[in-house]
Amino acid sequence: MKFKKSAIVASVLAFGLVCGAVGAGAATGIQQIKAALNYNLNFKIDGESWTPKDSNGNKMAPIVYKGSTYLPARAVSEALGATIGLSGNTISIDTGVDGHPYNDGDGSSSSSGSSSSGSSSSSSSSSNSSGVIKLSGSTSSMEEKMREEALVLIHLYGYALEDRDPERVLNYIDKRVSKALDGGPLSNGKEYYKDKFEEYFEGVLEANDDETVDAYADGLKAATLDEVETSYVGTKSEFSQGFSYSFRPEGFDAFSSVYIYYTFYADKYDSDNFILGEARVS
């Protein structure tokens, strides 16, 4: 069974499939592998045939490695309306502008555009609700803590779909995520991600019939902590640290998995106080 998502979300999922191996080997750097290009696989986007190509017009193919198939991230995601850029050790995804496919070896961004930001507020985090999550303890302990939070959000998303009302998730974001702060890297905050979720939620309901939505909602509500997988744990920088998790409801394919993203930001530049600045469902 398939649960349809927006083009933006599909692009992120394709990117995630490609980068799963990157996250696993991040601690040791680059790992050399032996893989195969599978030109026998065909692509369809919204039912229409499509061929991934690089900027030179050369046909691209998925990579098969140890039984898993990895898609060409840039070509697939940008065909769906997102762009991916590589700068140093950071891979950036921009879902706000149209992109164009290019060689994965190219280290420059495929397109440029201004990013949206939420409303600004006081530079102090003291005005935030006490429910805002803070980054504390070891990375492993935070990974487990946020996995538990991801389960809470997955359940709330399930109930929101059942009700056809995003309010439960919006309330969660409002309570757990900081507002935008001046004088630091936390430039978006809760209002930005509440708006993004409302837009995403509306698109999901439009893309699926009631029977599919109800079945998916039931699957989300039945999720257990053991079934929530850690997809990515970022290395803490001076500005931020990210965590992401996934869950696939029983009876749905891998592309229907729900992904939960959390990012903590320093409340000010040169601050050791990190607070949750992003909670996102896709």
Q: Could you tell me the residue ranges of all domains in the chain?
A: 36-80, 134-281
Residue 72: strand, helix, or coil: coil
As a 3-state breakdown, the chain gives helix, strand, coil percent values, each rounded to 5, of: 35, 20, 45
Global model pTM greater than 0.85: no
Strands 36-37 and 63-65: antiparallel
Q: What is the pLDDT of residue 110?
A: 34
How far is residue 136's CA from residue 117's CA, in Å, rounded to a whole number? 26
DSSP 264: E
Q: Cβ distance 178 to 275 under 8 Å? A: yes
Residue 175: strand, helix, or coil: helix
Question: What token pair was written down for 127?
Answer: 């005005």
Residue matched to tokens 């929530």: 228
Q: What is the pLDDT of residue 39?
A: 78
Q: What is the dihedral of CA 97, 268, 129, 131, to 10 degrees?
A: 80
Give, for 260, the enclosing helix (H) or strand (E): strand 258-266
How far is residue 177's CA from residue 132's CA, in Å, rounded to a whole number? 5
What is the longest distance spanned by two Cα atoms in the chain?
A: 57
Residue from 163, 179, 170, 197 nearest 119 by CA:
179
Tens place of pLDDT per residue across the chain (282 aa): 778 765 444 444 444 444 444 444 444 556 667 777 877 777 877 677 888 887 667 788 888 776 677 777 767 766 666 656 655 566 666 654 333 343 444 433 333 333 333 333 333 333 344 589 999 999 999 999 999 999 999 999 999 999 999 999 999 999 999 999 998 899 899 999 999 999 999 999 999 999 999 999 999 999 999 999 999 999 999 999 999 999 999 999 888 899 999 999 999 998 999 999 999 999
Residue 24: strand, helix, or coil: helix
Q: What is the pLDDT of residue 36?
A: 79
Q: What is the pLDDT of residue 15?
A: 45
Work out the end-to-end distance of the chain between its first and last CA atoms, rounded to an integer number of angstroms.
17
CB atoms within 10 A of CB 29: 7
CA of 26: how far to CAs of 70, 73, 145, 241, in Å? 17, 18, 21, 14
Q: Which residues contact 70 (CB under 8 A, 6 or more apart)?
A: 17, 18, 20, 21, 35, 62, 63, 64
Read out DSSP for 102-147?
Answer: --TT--S-S---PPP------S-GGGS-TTS-B--S-HHHHHHHHH
Residue 168 dihedral angles phi and psi, to the nearest 5°: -60, -45
